[in-house]
Structure 1
Amino acid sequence: MNTPDTLDDYQRTVRALSDRIVEAQAPVRILDAVKWDDSIREGFFASGCRELPKVDRSWYEARPLAFDSAAKKEEFQNIERDITRQLGQFSPVGQIMRRMCREYRMVIRMLEARGTADFGLISQELYGAASDAFHAGDPTLADLGLMLSDYLNNIDDRSDLKDEPKTLTAPQAVEMLQRRLDPVFGEGEGVIRVFESDGILADAAAGADYIKIRSDAIFNERDVRALEVHEGLVHVGTTLNGQNQPICTFLAKGPPSSTVTQEGLAILMEVIAFASYPTRLRKLTNRTRAIHMAEEGADFLDVFGFFREQGYDEEECYSNANRVFRGSLPNGLPFTKDLSYLKGFIMVYNYIQLAVRQGKLEHIPLLFCGKTTLEDMRTLRQLVDEGMVAPPRYLPQQFQDLNALSAWMCFSNFLNHLSLDRIEADYANIL
């Protein structure tokens, strides 16, 4: 494996440009910039949950970004210019890095537009919209959300599918998750840390080499298993693999296009590791449906009411509705990042399925090289062959031996050609 001391001139040039991207993006923290503080929640509940949260453009302006947005956009513009000057217009790795620079400039424009209609429009450009189809003539993400909800409703009343009681406190979940991850990432090496944290919206959040558990959250063992797979094996694993890159260090950081791929990969891992479950899937489908509601004109109160109808308590209803409107206005277009889960799952699943169909199995583990994007996978394969990108060091067991995955996808390719409606009619007398 290459080290900084053994790189040739071209590789050193790529490494230097890559490092500049990593450094430039460091202060750009999207979720920190769009989150609402506790005063908004307290005000909403003080109104009896009957008035829109008190968030407008001036509220965001009173909470400036952690960087000079004009200077930061110029910095990314300069990096993009230098990539072309030093690597040429058609360098494959240069094309990836230039796209990243353009995405980060768009992210900054979105954050500049907090509290305006442009915020939601740019969010749709970066993460997509619920009304987007996967391919011409195919169902949309909103259709997928409704379809999955129908399936889940059919099994909702089964007593044998009820969730186990949530009896694990945050400290207990921290200890259990750390114990599960140590054998994967190196026990005693301190490669990955699990700890409690206040102030995060989700139950857990992954960083470069850590997983934060919200200190007031409670869990069951199935929740911890999902966190192990989703946050640990995928999010932390791909980050560490990116950090281990000797040349293309930009793979340690991900713009929005990689968010879709990474979240999709994480959900796929939950499924093939048997770590997912109906309640988890319903959470994802409800997020998609809520975003579609907001795109169609629903406001915060409407979305809050939707989650209440789904059986969530008021704190959960607020938290879920908050995810939809953070960065925007309580009656504005939604922040569409949460579409990444289902959208990414379908896209990554299709990619793996086609890789098996075409006999290109060597492409599949490269999804874990870092914060990858599907559109870059062919280029990444080329860069691995050239020694520019290192294969992933941390790879889930399901992707180390592709035998079972390939067999599953071979059957799946065939099953896609069958008519489920016809099968349902034929099986009517036996099911």
Structure 2
Amino acid sequence: MNSLNELDDYQLTVRALSDRIVEAQTPIRVLDAVKWDDNVRSNFLKHKGKKLPAVDRDYYAGRPLAFDTAAKKLEFQNIERDITRQLGQFNPVGQIMRRMCREYRMVIRMLEARGTEDFGLISQDLYGAASDAFHAGDPTLSDLGLMFSDYLNNIDRRGDLEDEPKNLSAKQAVDLLQHRLNKVFGEAEETIRVFESDGILADAAAGADYIKIRADAVFNERDVKALEVHEGLVHVATTINGQNQPICTFLAKGPPSSTVTQEGLAILMEVIAFASYPTRLRKLTNRTRAIHMAEEGADFLQVCDFYREQGFSLEDSYSNASRAFRGSSPTGLPFTKDLSYLKGFIMVYNYIQLAVRKGKLEQIPLLFCGKTTLEDMRTLRQLVDEGLVVAPKYLPPQFSDLNSLSAWMCFSNFLNHLSLDRIEADYANIL
């Protein structure tokens, strides 16, 4: 990594502006700001799931943010202004950094609007809506969720693809995951810490150099493999690759636009590493369907009932439904971040497919050089050529050797031209 005294004046200017963005975003913790506390859960369970949670504008007012929102928006405004003053209107890296400043200001406005209708509307601007189409005339995310549900129902009806027993405690999962990640990241300064935590909603969550495992969760070996590739080889690896950037330090931090790309990469890695499975895919499709239901007017109780119909306990149904309504109200528009998984998967898959088709394989590993966004990929290629961005140090094996991935995508490009409806009709007598 270059030291600061090895950078020229232009590189120092970019680095200084990038560092200001990293510093400014530090206190903004979206998931902490929108989550509901244990009292909400306890009261819901006490009323047997028959009463809407008591969450409204006043509830969030009692949980103030850790920063002055007006001052923080002004800080990002000043950074954006200085980017233009020092780099110019059309400078490529400046355009990325200015967009990040605008996104963070929008994030702050969303957090200011917790408990109101504006919260959900701004969330849709940042993360998208379930009714969004991928391309003109294509199915929407909600269509994709329903389609996947139909496929999964057909698999369920077989009755012979049951999940392996959850025979690993959180502590055992921590030990196994730590062992696997040590093989990837080594025992050096960038060793990843894996530990138990009581304060997370999901089974696991990744930080800059750690992965937290929910203390009361249980796992099997397939779960641990999925965590290894999803949280370790993607989320933690891209954070460390971003931290290794000598100039564009902003790549270590992810605004909402990068969330879609990051989660899409993580799901793609699960698929190509054969770490995913029907129950895990069902979890993602259910999240998409829950958000779509809320967008269409369903309240918290109706979304909770949807999960109960899927066979979840009342407690698990509450946890799942609260993901869709956190930051909002039990009758409001949803928090749409969980659309990032399926949306990102489709977008990243299509990007890699096109990169292979056009022979631009060098573009693909750059997805891992930090918290990247698809719309910036051409610019990032340019920044690598200019020496402003360094190639990723940590890459999953499927992306460090692109032979197999390229072959798969070549076949996939051809298969996309075949009509599945016609195939189904022609294969009717042999399937």
Determine if the TM-score, normalized by the shorter chain, exceeds 0.5: yes
CA offsets per residue over residues 318-364 of structure 1, 9 Å max, x none?
00000000000000000000000000000000000000000000000
Aligned partners of 2:45 and 2:315 also within 8 Å: no
Question: What's the CA shift for 1:189?
Answer: 4.2
TM-score with structure 1 length normalisation? 0.99
* Counterpart mapping for 1:67-86 below 5 A: 67-86=67-86
1:320 match: 320
2:205 match: 205
CA offsets per residue over residues 55-106 of structure 1, 9 Å max, x none?
1100100110010000000000000000000000010000000000000000
CA offsets per residue over residues 162-214 of structure 1, 9 Å max, x none?
10010110100000000000011113545210000111000000000000001
Question: What's the CA shift for 1:48?
Answer: 1.3
2:346 match: 346
Distance 1:167 1:191 in 2: 27
Question: What's the CA shift for 1:428?
Answer: 0.5
* Counterpart mapping for 1:55-134 below 5 A: 55-134=55-134
Say if 2:370 is the partner of 1:363: no
Q: Which 4+ residue blocks in structure 1 deviate beyond 6 angstroms?
A: none
Question: What's the CA shift for 1:46?
Answer: 1.1
Relative to structure 2, which stretch is displaced further, 159-168 or 286-295? Answer: 159-168
Distance 1:183 1:390 in 2: 23
Distance 1:161 1:361 in 2: 36
* Counterpart mapping for 1:221-300 below 5 A: 221-300=221-300
Q: Which amino acid aligns with 1:130?
A: A
Distance 2:25 2:90 in 1: 24
Distance 1:108 1:13 in 2: 26
Say if 2:13 is the partner of 1:6: no
CA offsets per residue over residues 288-346 of structure 1, 9 Å max, x none?
00000000000000000000111111111000000000000000000000000000000
Distance 1:159 1:169 in 2: 26
Distance 1:297 1:231 in 2: 33
- Over the residues paired in the alignment, what is the CA RMSD in angstroms? 0.7
1:51 match: 51
Question: What's the CA shift for 1:157?
Answer: 2.8
Distance 1:184 1:390 in 2: 20
Question: What's the CA shift for 1:117?
Answer: 0.2
Distance 1:312 1:237 in 2: 33
Distance 1:202 1:404 in 2: 32
Say if 2:419 is the partner of 1:419: yes
Question: What's the CA shift for 1:126?
Answer: 0.1
Distance 1:271 1:227 in 2: 12
Aligned partners of 2:180 and 2:228 also within 8 Å: yes
Distance 1:80 1:158 in 2: 56
CA offsets per residue over residues 21-56 of structure 1, 9 Å max, x none?
000000000000000000000111111110000111
Q: Which sections of structure 2, spanning at least 5 residues, go unmatched? A: none
Question: What's the CA shift for 1:161?
Answer: 1.2
Say if 2:135 is the partner of 1:135: yes
Aligned partners of 1:229 and 1:269 also within 8 Å: yes
Q: Which sections of structure 1, spanning at least 5 residues, go unmatched? A: none
Q: Indicate the SS of the match to 1:54.
A: coil
Distance 2:4 2:407 in 1: 40
Distance 1:264 1:97 in 2: 22
Aligned partners of 1:182 and 1:188 also within 8 Å: no
Q: Indicate the SS of the match to 1:160.
A: coil
Distance 2:112 2:195 in 1: 32
Q: Indicate the SS of the match to 1:216.
A: coil
Q: Which amino acid aligns with 1:14?
A: V
Distance 2:424 2:143 in 1: 20
Q: Which amino acid aligns with 1:182?
A: N
Q: Which amino acid aligns with 2:390?
A: A
2:164 match: 164
Distance 1:187 1:278 in 2: 34
Q: Indicate the SS of the match to 2:13.
A: helix
Q: Which amino acid aligns with 1:55?
A: V
